Structure 1
Amino acid sequence: MIEEEEPLPGQPTACPPSTAHRLFQTLRRSLIAGRLEHAAMVAIGLKALPLRKHKSTHLSQESFLTGEEKSSHIQAMKVRKMGRKGSKKDAHFHGGVSTETQSAGVPGTAKISRKSVKENTASASQASFIRKQVDPDTAKYFTEISNVLEGSEVDLEERSVICGNALEEARGKEVELATDYIISHTMQTLLEGCSLDNLCAFLRSCGNNLAYICMDRSGSHVVETALKSLARHLEDDDNHSLIEETLSTLIQAILVNPIDMICNCYGSHVIRGLLCLCKGVPIDSPEFHSLQSSTVLAERLNFQSSQLDGNKSQQTQPFPNQLKYLISEMVNPSRVDIGVLQVNQFSSLVLQTALKLLAGSEQDLFHTIPILLSCDVDNGVEGNLIEAKKAKKILRLVEENAYSHLMEVIVAVAPDSLYSEIFTKVFKSSLFRLSAHPCGNFALQALISHARNKEHITMMLEELDSKFKDMLEMGRSGVVAALVAASQRLQINESKCCQALADAVCSTNEPSACIVPRILFLDNYLYCSDKANWKWPSGVKMHVLGSLLLQTVFRFPSEFIQSYITSITSLEDNQVLEASKDPAGARVIEAFVTSNASTKRKRKLIIKLQGHFGELSVLPSGSFTVEKCFNASNMSMRETIVSELLPFQTELSKTKQGPYLLKKLDAEGFAKRPDQWRSRQTTRESAYKEFYEAFGPRDTQSSRSGNFLSSTHSKSQAEGLKGMRKEIYDGFSSSFSHKSGAPFLAHQGSAKRKKAENKQVPGGSGLPKDDDTFIKGKSKKQKVKTSGGIAENSHGTEDLHGEGLSIKNKRKRRRDG
């Protein structure tokens, strides 16, 4: 027997006494029991083993322990769970509160959560599984395989053979190998390098044990790797039949007891990947999993088109039958308890992915969504699916953390008639109550953002327009922003919405000049004890949602936002400069100078930045502000802006956006030949105006902007005109770089005329001989098509920062908004 005083070989000498003693006792018990491999894992994985703790409320670690250890381990886990708190990672972006914790503070929902916990515990005890240890010979074999594959001398063909042979050796031992912390990494390497036949054979041989592999931390990564490898073989249509057969086997294995998989931390990831594979989308595609809060906010404020809209237009699905069958069985009330799925955070993520993948398929959504709403699908009829009692229950569930996320997706993908029924029977008359709830307000934001028609927005504003101030003071500015954006998108009650926002921060007896500053510093103003004497707080970071609110406001027609225009043009020079240096404030300045406000008002604001364009241009966000101010300025102010940039050319060339800004403003051309620079600007502006008069919007408000680049268009107009703006810009750059005196429109002759001219050149290459010098003078980025006799200039760069700027490109600007 080993004495406790005897130091064990390899024992860390620098450990604290208590840690060393615990390590010693663990190793001692393992050696006495003859479990040498267990002792080795404790010795080398002391820091890694605690990370393997399962967070699922279902099949957890005790399922894989041997019989002697199981009872004591379960008791220890129960003691530890008594004081466990939900982690931020598990709580998505609503905050670090678990479902059970959220339920405790919501009347009528704690009973549901306690019931689900009891059912989960019972499910875990019934699904227990004793895993065998990997025998030493097998462990040694896979260690050698790992060493061979890590070598650089193995080619692809030989690697595939080695991986296939190793997977053959794993047959019958899939559970032990896939759930082993060390060997699981080798299994992932084998599944990435093997052939399709070996890959499918491995997944089929997992059989009924697949669920236990998926619900293990290491095993789930192995199965996900296998699914990703299957996805890579989808490019070959000949492989579809074999993959379809394998998917059917996987689905049947999962549906033996689906609720355990769906509500498991690791199993839920596998099911989401399987759903994406059936749909034919990338398994790790972010739009079909939990989106970042910035992306969701951009969609709700109309700064980015919804990811779900793009999914609706997607028509190619490799395995539509498997997708529909898996989803229908996952939510089948006879197979699973819908009440458990509704409040579990992991099942919520699975159901969100399923609904996003069904977006556009109204028949499937009409079947799935009512089940998730706990409605009777068989006895209900369209338009009358939700009963009064069910509506109250749904309203309580929306205040649950997990279900609020699910409701966000439900209202986003629901068919129009079903959305209307959900709004009128569940949400109507309870909008302000939900706006005050920490979880329910997110579901309300989604409901507002996906309003289908003007009638919906009208009813929403009737309940909430007088509550704007209350919602802002409660910190629910997201709900207000969603309402303003929805009103702007559907073009309904625009004046009413803008006035309600202004009244929320400015009383009737106060001047309108205070509106923009108070929204820019929204939190600072709302939490100020003396609001009457509040002043612009210099050096304080501007409010992100306040900035987004103002950006949305300046997209309204100018007749509805005169008070906002007056307010922003009344700012002091130093305040405009401070706003332009702040990432959130700079976006507001840009939104105003690109709005359809009058040119006179815009230039009144731009003049206040005179003398500071150089220092703004070197800032990550300021360079975009300088560009927008340049586009909205007259000729004299443009000269002022470019001249202020010249001393900063060296510094600008080292920044990310500096070279683009210098090129766009043609700073070098202005420094060398100011007269030619003015001529180019004048001619280009006249071409813009001619094109704008011919193809631009006919409304008088837009025509008052006076500048084609600074005018505001809808998304479709912006996308359609973007290419023409680039063509005009490239054409001018080409014509002036060639020192051609012909105007731009004359430079673009018809193809027939050019072909006729080229035919006059005997034995030519499609270009006149006189143009040889012209060809040699072209830059490397210009391409010449000699077959048709047309010289095509392709050196111009598309304006990535115009009105059609996507939120993805905006995020690259490292802004907080």
Structure 2
Amino acid sequence: MAGEYSSRNHQGKKRGRNDKGNKKGGGDYSSQKNYDGGHEDTFNSRKSSRHQQEFEPQTSFIRKQVDPELSKYFSEISNVIEGTEIDYEERSGICGNALEEARGKEVELATDYILSHTLQSLLEGCSLEHLCSFLHGCSNDFPRIAMDKSGSHVAESALKALAMHLQDTENISLIEDTITSICQAIVLNPVDIMCDCYGSHVLRSLLCLCKGVPIDSAESHGKKSSVVLAERLNLKPAHFDRNVSQQHSQGFPNMLIYLVKEMLNAGRKDITTLQVDQYSSLVLQTALKMLGGNEEELLHIIPILLGCSMETIQEGKVIEVDAANKLLSLMKESAFSHLMEVILEVAPETVYTELLEKVFKNSIFDLSSHHCGNFVVQSLISHAKSHNHMDLIWEELGTKFKELFEVGRSGVVASIIATGQRLQSHETKCCQALAAAVSLANESARYIVPRILFLDNYFFCRDKSNWNWPNDAKMHVMGTLILQIVFKFPSEFIQAYISSITSLEADHVLHALKDFGGARVLEAFFCSNASGKQKRKLVVRLRGHFRDLSLHPSGAFTVEKCFSVSNLSMREVIVSELIDVQSELSKTKQGPHLLRTLDVEGFAKRPEQWKSRQATKESAYKEYFATFGPKAPNTTSSKKNSFLSTAHRSSQPEKVKEMRKEIDNHVATLLEPSLKTAGKHTPEVDTKPARDNNTLKTKNKKRKSVDNVGYEDAVGSKVIDGDSKKSSKSGDKKLKKQHKEGSISKSSRKKMKS
């Protein structure tokens, strides 16, 4: 994502057959891009240390020629199952009979460049019994097949086919016996297969199968850098692998533990090789993720991976004091740095604390400056578990934000700010340190946000005192992520940032909105608990541009946010600008949702009724929050934003979303009787200002939908015309009565009170 992420990218070995006609099979593995620690990487084919130069796994074997008659038979079978359409049962029978003919010849067929494709198709189409029979027949030779260029595809196809039957509880013992025979063959010499380009990928698939997670899923084999980064920075709900048990099928936990333990026991003497080998690192990362949450096993496995002696492990310690310097050196190796990130991710708190105090202490800044080590530091910070952890990290990095920016380590700064926000620790210090890092002495706060949006452009500028907004530059990805985190803090900590973003010129706001990262920053500001007046100050700058913004790929979201924080008169301006582009908007991805949410068609046909509905909904929100929302402190600013502030700091966006949905549904029920009669009679819209209550009630009954409005507007907006106030009185009384009678669910009350 950010500049420093590309510094670890290396050209790697290709894992594929490069065949043009490979319609079946495991696909063309053109490169090793799987990085379980958090970055999409291709690894350098050369060995990264002298340990790897001393160890070269022996994977070659004498390849036997396939019997010509057998080769002819399988070629004919290939034509039958691929060239014609046959039903499932007939196909299964043909595949099963063909696999019977392959008995005793599994290795020759699986490692043949051409026939291996046919064998893959047979394994994918046969019954479970024939599949298990095939795997049992070649279980002793499974490591040899897995380490072959063609055979690895066959092995993975077989494991994927086996995974498809995990839901079949009647045959689960048959599957378990098959996996057991494969694992027993692998643990006889696991180091070779772990360090092999092809074998490591098969072994990771086997680990996933034992766990019961999808073999092809990103959760199993690793995540893209953008996904991991979003989770670490609290911008996306974490799908931590220790919780993957809620999603996976029935697995074999005992077999998973057996396989991992035996691999490490057999590879203990080669641990220095496994630590720095690019392929074994991937296997070990997957093993750790599959065991995430199992503290008992992790307490046994992690010390082995860190190279601790048996005496240290038996004493219940994680790391020897003398080994700390060695580990710090290893963290500057690409493969081990990836592995260390995952260790920190899954480590129990006791292990994490010991690593922080014995290994990282007094070395965090030095490691942060290294092109590989800084990712380990990011993982260390992101998985801090207490205020004490944050105290130690802040002591070494809290005054180094500017230095980190200057050497291109903005990801480390982002991790500190995100962890401070997550733990609600050092919040004021984080915001102040960030602002100080991008500000000159005695300078106005207005420059803070622009300089963070263009981090590299600013810090690489020679004359920083004369730096101006670069109209032709792309916004810094990590800078935009940092600002998204900042606007999740309570407003009392980020007043300088609010002042800066609301001081942006109209052209600069438009520039930001047409950049995906910049648009996210403005959305984060609109979702923050800044006051409605501050938000509307920025919305006004966009008057006359909502039409073009709504048609921009990232602009539709922003227009919706602007609508939710605006008062009634500004909402009219926004909707009126969208009337002329209804047709174009309906053809875009987000356009239909935007048109429906803002009820653009309703405004175009009956603007007075549209305004009345907006006022009624606003009144309903106020009544709801007044009845069920938390009690606000006796300060004006806190009173306006009490609900938002509480919801924001609770870090429970799903609960907030549920409450908002229930509010909208409840408001919709108020108009339900009216919806049934809508469309039967449509009187002419009287544009005269004088309206009595009955007439306005009749007009409110003509609508068929109720739109969502933002919390800020529901709580803080005061711009309601006199007629709208009158029209909402009856709705207010009805809502209040239903509240007293208990029409709101008990669960909803608990959510609101919490």
TM-score range, shorter chain: 0.7 to 0.9
Question: What whole-Å deviation, never above 9, does each CA across 1:369-393 have from its counterpart, x for those lacking one?
Answer: 1100111355446773311111111
Give the C-alpha shift of residue 604 in structure 1.
1.0
Counterpart in the other structure of 1:661: 594
Contact 1:91–1:98 (CA under 8 A) maintained in structure 2: no
Counterpart in the other structure of 1:117: 53
Q: Compared with structure 1, are the counterparts of its residues 549 and 801 closer, same or farther at alpha carbon in structure 2 (3 Å cutoff)?
A: farther
Question: What whole-Å deviation, never above 9, does each CA across 1:397-421 have from its counterpart, x for those lacking one?
Answer: 1111011111111111111111110
Contact 1:116–1:340 (CA under 8 A) maintained in structure 2: yes
Q: Taking structure 2 as the reference length, what is the TM-score of the superposition?
A: 0.83
| Partner residue of 1:570 out of 484, 503, 514 | 503
CA distance in 1, matches of 2:680, 2:263: 67
Q: Compared with structure 1, are the counterparts of its residues 524 and 543 closer, same or farther at alpha carbon in structure 2 (3 Å cutoff)?
A: same
| Partner residue of 2:492 out of 534, 559, 570 | 559
- SS of equivalent residue, structure 1 residue 217: coil
| Partner residue of 1:400 out of 330, 333, 344 | 333
- SS of equivalent residue, structure 1 residue 233: coil
Contact 2:212–2:248 (CA under 8 A) maintained in structure 1: no
Q: Which amino acid aligns with 2:154?
A: V
Give the C-alpha shift of residue 394 in structure 1.
1.2
Question: What whole-Å deviation, never above 9, does each CA across 1:443-477 have from its counterpart, x for those lacking one?
Answer: 11011000010111111111111111111111110
Q: Compared with structure 1, are the counterparts of its residues 613 and 253 closer, same or farther at alpha carbon in structure 2 (3 Å cutoff)?
A: same
Give yes or no for the alignment of 1:162 onto 2:94: yes
Counterpart in the other structure of 1:474: 407
Give the C-alpha shift of residue 691 in structure 1.
2.4
Bigger mean CA deviation after superposition, 228-237 or 291-300: 228-237
Q: Compared with structure 1, are the counterparts of its residues 398 and 538 closer, same or farther at alpha carbon in structure 2 (3 Å cutoff)?
A: same
Q: Which amino acid aligns with 1:658?
A: G
Contact 1:91–1:345 (CA under 8 A) maintained in structure 2: no
Higher relative contact order structure (alpha carbons within 8 Å, sequence separation ≥ 6): 2
Counterpart in the other structure of 1:261: 193
Alignment map for 1:704-715 (pairs within 5 Å)? 704-705=639-640, 713-714=648-649
Give the C-alpha shift of residue 307 in structure 1.
2.1
- SS of equivalent residue, structure 2 residue 592: helix
Counterpart in the other structure of 2:741: none
Contact 1:514–1:567 (CA under 8 A) maintained in structure 2: yes
Contact 1:616–1:626 (CA under 8 A) maintained in structure 2: yes
Give yes or no for the alignment of 1:98 onto 2:44: yes
| Partner residue of 1:726 out of 638, 658, 661 | 661
CA distance in 2, matches of 1:334, 1:100: 21
Alignment map for 1:317-466 (pairs within 5 Å)? 317-332=250-265, 337-380=270-313, 384-466=317-399
Q: Which amino acid aligns with 1:141?
A: Y
Contact 1:94–1:401 (CA under 8 A) maintained in structure 2: no
Give yes or no for the alignment of 1:547 onto 2:456: no
Aligned length: 665
Counterpart in the other structure of 1:250: 182
Give the C-alpha shift of residue 735 in structure 1.
4.8
Contact 2:564–2:711 (CA under 8 A) maintained in structure 1: no
Q: Which amino acid aligns with 1:718?
A: P
Counterpart in the other structure of 1:765: none
Contact 2:455–2:476 (CA under 8 A) maintained in structure 1: yes
Give the C-alpha shift of residue 96 in structure 1.
5.4
CA distance in 2, matches of 1:801, 1:478: 32
Q: Compared with structure 1, are the counterparts of its residues 384 and 335 closer, same or farther at alpha carbon in structure 2 (3 Å cutoff)?
A: closer
CA distance in 2, matches of 1:443, 1:546: 20
Q: Compared with structure 1, are the counterparts of its residues 90 and 631 closer, same or farther at alpha carbon in structure 2 (3 Å cutoff)?
A: closer
Give the C-alpha shift of residue 796 in structure 1.
7.6
CA distance in 1, matches of 2:650, 2:709: 14
Q: Compared with structure 1, are the counterparts of its residues 711 and 606 closer, same or farther at alpha carbon in structure 2 (3 Å cutoff)?
A: farther
Alignment map for 1:470-619 (pairs within 5 Å)? 470-619=403-552
Q: Taking structure 1 as the reference length, what is the TM-score of the superposition?
A: 0.77
Give the C-alpha shift of residue 116 in structure 1.
2.1
Counterpart in the other structure of 1:6: none
Q: Compared with structure 1, are the counterparts of its residues 669 and 443 closer, same or farther at alpha carbon in structure 2 (3 Å cutoff)?
A: same
Give the C-alpha shift of residue 797 in structure 1.
10
Give the C-alpha shift of residue 47 in structure 1.
8.6
Counterpart in the other structure of 1:295: 227
Q: Compared with structure 1, are the counterparts of its residues 240 and 801 closer, same or farther at alpha carbon in structure 2 (3 Å cutoff)?
A: farther
Give the C-alpha shift of residue 800 in structure 1.
13
Contact 1:469–1:504 (CA under 8 A) maintained in structure 2: yes
CA distance in 2, matches of 1:388, 1:521: 42
Counterpart in the other structure of 2:117: 185
In structure 1, runs of 5+ residues without a counterpart are: 1-43, 57-85, 104-112, 741-770, 778-794, 804-817
Contact 2:34–2:222 (CA under 8 A) maintained in structure 1: no
CA distance in 2, matches of 1:560, 1:706: 14
Q: Compared with structure 1, are the counterparts of its residues 338 and 797 closer, same or farther at alpha carbon in structure 2 (3 Å cutoff)?
A: farther
Q: Which structure has the bigger radius of gyration?
A: 1
In structure 2, runs of 5+ residues without a counterpart are: 1-16, 682-703, 713-754
- SS of equivalent residue, structure 1 residue 550: helix
Could you say what the CA RMSD is over the residues aligned between the two structures, in angstroms? 3.1
Give the C-alpha shift of residue 672 in structure 1.
1.3
Counterpart in the other structure of 2:717: none
Give yes or no for the alignment of 1:305 onto 2:241: no
CA distance in 2, matches of 1:154, 1:161: 11
CA distance in 2, matches of 1:606, 1:470: 35
CA distance in 2, matches of 1:45, 1:363: 44
Counterpart in the other structure of 2:140: 208
Give yes or no for the alignment of 1:641 onto 2:641: no
Counterpart in the other structure of 2:700: none
Give the C-alpha shift of residue 710 in structure 1.
10
CA distance in 2, matches of 1:798, 1:398: 53
Give the C-alpha shift of residue 715 in structure 1.
6.4
Give the C-alpha shift of residue 713 in structure 1.
2.2
Q: Compared with structure 1, are the counterparts of its residues 387 and 379 closer, same or farther at alpha carbon in structure 2 (3 Å cutoff)?
A: closer
Alignment map for 1:1-12 (pairs within 5 Å)? none
Q: Which amino acid aligns with 2:661?
A: K
Give the C-alpha shift of residue 143 in structure 1.
0.8
Contact 2:564–2:709 (CA under 8 A) maintained in structure 1: no
Give the C-alpha shift of residue 602 in structure 1.
1.1
Give the C-alpha shift of residue 311 in structure 1.
2.6
Give the C-alpha shift of residue 706 in structure 1.
5.5
Q: Which amino acid aligns with 1:307?
A: H
CA distance in 1, matches of 2:706, 2:106: 54
Q: Percent identity?
A: 58
Give the C-alpha shift of residue 774 in structure 1.
8.6
Q: Compared with structure 1, are the counterparts of its residues 658 and 581 closer, same or farther at alpha carbon in structure 2 (3 Å cutoff)?
A: same
Counterpart in the other structure of 1:130: 62
Counterpart in the other structure of 2:168: 236
Counterpart in the other structure of 1:174: 106
Question: What whole-Å deviation, never above 9, does each CA across 1:606-632 have from its counterpart, x for those lacking one?
Answer: 111111111111111111111111111
Q: Compared with structure 1, are the counterparts of its residues 347 and 630 closer, same or farther at alpha carbon in structure 2 (3 Å cutoff)?
A: same
Q: Which amino acid aligns with 1:727?
A: E
Contact 1:596–1:705 (CA under 8 A) maintained in structure 2: no
CA distance in 2, matches of 1:402, 1:97: 8
Q: Which amino acid aligns with 2:435?
A: A
CA distance in 2, matches of 1:201, 1:717: 50
Give the C-alpha shift of residue 704 in structure 1.
4.6
Counterpart in the other structure of 1:629: 562
Question: What whole-Å deviation, never above 9, does each CA across 1:685-730 have from its counterpart, x for those lacking one?
Answer: 1222232334445455985555978995256543123233223324
Contact 2:140–2:182 (CA under 8 A) maintained in structure 1: no
